[in-house]
Amino acid sequence: MPKTVLIAEDRPDSRQLLEDILEQFRPHVRVLVAGDGREALALARTEKPDMAFLDVMMPGLDGVEVCRAIKADPALAGMHVILVTALSQLADFEKDADAGADDCISKPYDVALIMERVAAVLGVAAA
Q: Is residue 113 part of a domain?
A: yes
Is the residue at 84 inside a domain? Answer: yes
Residue 20 covered by a domain: yes
127 residues of the chain, pLDDT tens digit each: 899 999 999 999 999 999 999 999 999 999 999 999 999 999 999 999 999 999 998 988 999 999 999 999 999 989 999 999 876 654 566 665 677 889 888 888 899 999 999 999 999 988 7
CATH of the domain at 91: 3.40.50.2300
Has residue 95 been placed in a domain? yes
Domain assignment of residue 99, yes or no:
yes
Nearest to 100 by CA among 76, 116, 118: 76
Domain that holds residue 23: 3-121
Q: What 3-state DSSP class applies to 49?
A: coil
Count the Cβ atoms, other than its own, within 10 Å of residue 15: 18
Which pLDDT score is estimated for 100? 85
The number of domains in the chain is 1
User: Do residues 6 and 53 make contact, with C-beta atoms less than 8 angstroms apart?
Assistant: yes
Residue 126 in any domain: the answer is no
Residue 44 is assigned to a structural domain of this protein: yes
